[in-house]
Structure 1
Amino acid sequence: MSVSAVPGGDRGRKPRVALFVTCLVDLIRPSVGFAAVKLLEDAGCTVDVPVQTCCGQPAFNSGDRGTARDLAEQVIEAFRGYDYVVAPSGSCAGMIKAHYPELFADDPNWLPRVNALAARTYELTSFLVDVLGVTKVDASYEGTVTYHDSCSGLRELGVRSQPRRLLASMEGVTLVELNESDVCCGFGGTFAVKYSDISGAIVDAKTKHVSETGASTLLAGDLGCLMNMAGRLSREGKEIEVRHVAEVLAGMTDDPPIAAARDPRRS
């Protein structure tokens, strides 16, 4: 990591990074948050986890702009003063970076602060590779993995090569590309609830492609996608581990895979 990554060229100072944990990570898979902290600290950052709330994406996608804006204002306040804001989620980072400016476009009092926050907000693997220049992670993982490109990270933030580059630096990992890796998994937040039949058909096609790779582990960068695919693979009886890419990159894979039963002896 080069100290020139600090905004303004303040050499000799570690970048001060605020982790946007995300609701799903906080409530469902905290290990992803701890893995993100480890990766950021290993890369030379000072990491804080401010008291935070939802980014507002569910409300925004449902057309409730008032609630989305109320939540966004809380996020903007909570993440003031940091060099960077990093999220282990393309969808949440995409909400802040791509859609907050849209949400506040007609408000000249808020827009400068919104644009400033958007400019320093990144998805985790993109931040490590594109900002900090990380080329190798000090972890190993034995097995064949395949990778699903989550819609928001790919299309809103350009996250595709970065996780693959980091995985390629690890010992023991063999990456097998997934057919139609850039096609939606069928989650889409509230989409999966409103249009469950369509969502089910989409994830069926996705898990078919996952099985065809022969990989023992499925990785992605968004927990919502991972939960959706892991649930369907489990119901299909497929013995394919599903993990967030941050867990593997950080070497923190002691927790059971997503949707797998926890060993009661370790509770």
Structure 2
Amino acid sequence: MNQIEMNFAAPATPDQQGASVHKTDIKGKRVGLFVTCLVDLFRPTVGFAAVKLLEDAGFELEVPRDQTCCGQPAYNSGDKEDAKALAKQVIKTFESYDYIVAPSGSCTGMIRKHYPSLLADDPKWAERAVNLAGKTYELVSFLVDVAGIEAVSSHFTGSVTYHDSCSGLRELGIKDQPRKLLASVPGVDLKEMADNDVCCGFGGTFSVKYPDISDAIVTKKTRNITEAGAGTLLAGDMGCLMNMAGKLKRDGSAIQVRHIAEVLADMADGPAIGEKSGR
């Protein structure tokens, strides 16, 4: 049982406070939160922020205890058999929900874009994979594009810059949605960095297989982050955030790094990514 699920295994009581205009009738709609491995193991705060945002939007929220990795590391490494096994576990766990939401563009991209092709030749799973893909969304995109949220109840004082993660941008078309919600937060001063849509160099196992290339890419990225002049770096994927935070810390930068959900949920008062607790 993961850290988020221990606290939110039971259905949440919908709370309409903080919700705005909805594009769909959400009454009674059940959302299964796909926590993701990196959030569970390294940044549970992001999971709690996602819970708050979805509850505030009025959804009936659950965090199923049987969820596992989406299978992306295995899939990207060519281990399709293990990727298929993990995909089937995810499908079994989440297919009963009206929506599946994840605070990650890469995990969402795996389910939406790759599950259908991964299981296309399996008659028992092909249709189920397609059905699950069609109702799986990245968190911020879901709030804006499905729930029709136009503003959140939060406050943040300071300047931020935003990195558009590769999977979210290129596989899911996530670009304007995070900026729209950030614009609704009093105190946020968005300073766009140069090449905000260029890869940070993480790429999952890419950064392990090709560390020199990865470091060259993240060096250019952190230079752009620094030159933007913002005090906080935001993004929607923990892998990218951890990679950029690590480089910034090694360079002695004071820039804080956070997942956008933490700012939108008014939960950005704790230690930033890469900082020690109690700092």
Q: Same fold (TM over 0.5)?
A: yes
Q: Residue 146 of structure 1 aligns to a residue in which SS?
A: strand
Name 1:115's counterpart in structure 2: 130
Name 1:144's counterpart in structure 2: 159
Name 2:43's counterpart in structure 1: 29
Q: Decide whether the 8 Å contact of 2:22 with 2:149 is kept in 1.
A: no
Name 1:57's counterpart in structure 2: 72
After superposition, residues 49-128 of structure 1 pair within 5 angstroms as 49-51=63-65, 52-128=67-143
The match for 2:183 among 168, 172, 190 is 168
After superposition, residues 1-267 of structure 1 pair within 5 angstroms as 5-6=24-25, 13-51=27-65, 52-263=67-278
Give 1:188 deviation, angstroms: 0.4
Q: Decide whether the 8 Å contact of 1:5 with 1:15 is kept in 2.
A: no
Q: Residue 174 of structure 1 aligns to a residue in which SS?
A: strand
Give 1:255 deviation, angstroms: 2.0
Q: Decide whether the 8 Å contact of 2:23 with 2:146 is kept in 1.
A: no
**Unmatched 5+ residue regions in structure 2?**
1-19
- Measured in 2, the distance between the counterparts of 1:30 and 1:229 equals 18
- Measured in 2, the distance between the counterparts of 1:261 and 1:81 equals 39
Q: Residue 136 of structure 1 aligns to a residue in which SS?
A: coil
- Measured in 1, the distance between the counterparts of 2:242 and 2:22 equals 36
Name 2:11's counterpart in structure 1: none
- Measured in 1, the distance between the counterparts of 2:255 and 2:21 equals 38
Q: Decide whether the 8 Å contact of 2:236 with 2:261 is kept in 1.
A: yes
Give 1:3 deviation, angstroms: 6.8
CA 92–235 in structure 1, closer or farther in 2 if over 3 Å, else same: same
- Measured in 2, the distance between the counterparts of 1:169 and 1:3 equals 16
CA RMSD of aligned residues (A): 1.2
Give 1:169 deviation, angstroms: 0.5
Q: Decide whether the 8 Å contact of 1:146 with 1:215 is kept in 2.
A: yes
CA offsets 1:209-241 (integer angstroms, 9 cap, x no match): 000000000000000000000000000001000
CA 3–166 in structure 1, closer or farther in 2 if over 3 Å, else same: closer
Q: Which runs of 4+ in 1 moved over 6 A?
A: none
Give 1:14 deviation, angstroms: 3.0
Q: Residue 157 of structure 2 aligns to a residue in which SS?
A: strand
**TM-score with structure 2 length normalisation?**
0.91
Give 1:4 deviation, angstroms: 6.3
Q: Residue 137 of structure 2 aligns to a residue in which SS?
A: strand
Q: Decide whether the 8 Å contact of 1:189 with 1:224 is kept in 2.
A: yes
The one-letter code sitting in structure 2 at the alignment partner of 1:225 is C
Give 1:5 deviation, angstroms: 2.3
% identity of equivalent residues:
63
- Measured in 2, the distance between the counterparts of 1:15 and 1:255 equals 31
